[in-house]
Amino acid sequence: MEVLEKEAEAIKNAIPRIDANFEKVVDLIGRSKGKVIVTGVGKSGIVGRKISATLSSTGTPSLFMHAGEASHGDIGVVSRGDVLLIISNSGETEELVNLVPFVRKLGVPIVGFIGKENSILTKKCDIVISTAVKEEACPHGVVPTASSIVTNALGDALAIALMVRRGVEKKHLGELHPGGTIGKRLLTTVSDLMHTGDEIPLIEDDKTMKEALFVMTAKGLGIVGVVDKDSELVGVITDGDLRRGLERTENFLKTKTREIMTTNPKWITSSALAIEALQTMEKYAITNLFVYNGEKKGKPVGVIHIHDILRYGISI
């Protein structure tokens, strides 16, 4: 608990560092035409990899360059128009100090996330954001713990500030995460998962409940849509409607579907996100939505079941 309290306090103390100086960093990177090259050694390097990944995934192109490998050819990833982000807790890391002259020759501006004031790297960077902490969470005050958390948090703040500046929307985030859960949530539309054609359970409003039961059983979605003589969807029959109908209706199987159906069925457009369909189902405690292209007119073009969405790996 003490470790978490110290780290939480360290992040709280870092809030005032989101200031005019921080805005200069956002402006510098926002105006740059190239990438953000993040570099560091040891624990700072590990945190740097995460910051670089977060930048890239939120719309700011970034690469991580290990400072120890830079002088052996990896500095080739740095180009004019880039911004170098140096991460160092001590501010004295030899590999990083030695890297600066080579970067300067390329005319690349240097931003530092530095944990020690008046260090060598503090003096060599164009803009410095302090990552200093009152104390590490380690009982000996040595192992980078609170300082790593603060550095990571400031990196997150930088990435999100740049994301807002660039106007990155949900759709863009999905395009940046096509292979994961985020991509599925932000890119998958209802049309990608819905049942179409003969798979749509529909029946006319003058048919009997016996016929409706056959359709519901054959389609296996636990629902049947009821259409009028103009093929307009006027209602739905669900398992709940069946139970209620059996309780209150004699000769249930001979009863017309229009007498049992629930009117004004919920629907959704084919272009809507699947996650939006799931949210609608949860809001109204239903398991299916009929689908239309744009407006509710004529026969539905599809139907989507909650299991279609969940099986695809999308959840709220």
- Report domain extents, the chain: 2-168, 190-311
Tell if the pTM clears 0.75, that is, is over it. no
Is-contact 130 114, C-beta < 8 A?
A: yes
pLDDT at 142: 81
Position 74 confidence tier, pLDDT thresholds 50, 70, 90:
confident
Would you state the pLDDT for residue 170?
A: 72
The answer to whether 222 and 281 are in contact (CB under 8 A) is: no
Label residue 173 by pLDDT band (50, 70, 90): confident
Asked if the model's pLDDT at residue 203 lies above 80, the reply is yes
pLDDT in tens, 33-45: 999 999 999 999 9
Dist CA 14 CA 191 (whole Å) = 46
**Backbone φ, ψ for residue 140 (5° rounding):** -95, 0
Model confidence pLDDT, tens digit, residues 105-117: 999 999 999 999 8
User: In the structure, what pLDDT confidence band is assigned to residue 315 with cuts at 50, 70 and 90?
Assistant: confident
| Surface-to-core class of residue 239, CB atoms within 10 Å of its CB (0-12 exposed, 13-18 middle, 19+ buried) | exposed
Residue 36, SS3? strand
Q: What pLDDT, on the 0 to 100 scale, is given for residue 298?
A: 81
Mean pLDDT of the chain: 92
Categorize the per-residue pLDDT at 177 as very low, low, confident or very high, splitting at 50, 70 and 90: low
Q: In whole angstroms, give the CA distance from residue 57 to residue 53.
A: 6
User: Which contacts qualify for 5-13: CB closer than 8 Å, 24 or more apart?
Assistant: 6/135, 6/136, 6/137, 6/145, 6/146, 7/137, 7/145, 7/146, 7/149, 9/134, 10/133, 10/134, 10/146, 10/147, 10/149, 10/150, 11/149, 11/150, 11/153, 13/133, 13/134
CATH code of the region 2-168: 3.40.50.10490
pLDDT value at position 115?
Answer: 93
Instruction: Say how far apart CA 204 and CA 207 lie, in whole Å.
Output: 6
Indicate the range of 39-48, 209-218, 290-299 predicted with least confidence: 290-299
pLDDT digits (tens, 9 = 90+) for 8-30: 999 999 999 999 999 999 999 99
Task: Please say if the pLDDT value at position 175 is more than 90.
Answer: no
Percent of the chain with pLDDT over 90: 78
Fold observed for domain 190-311: CBS-domain (3.10.580)
pLDDT at 126: 96
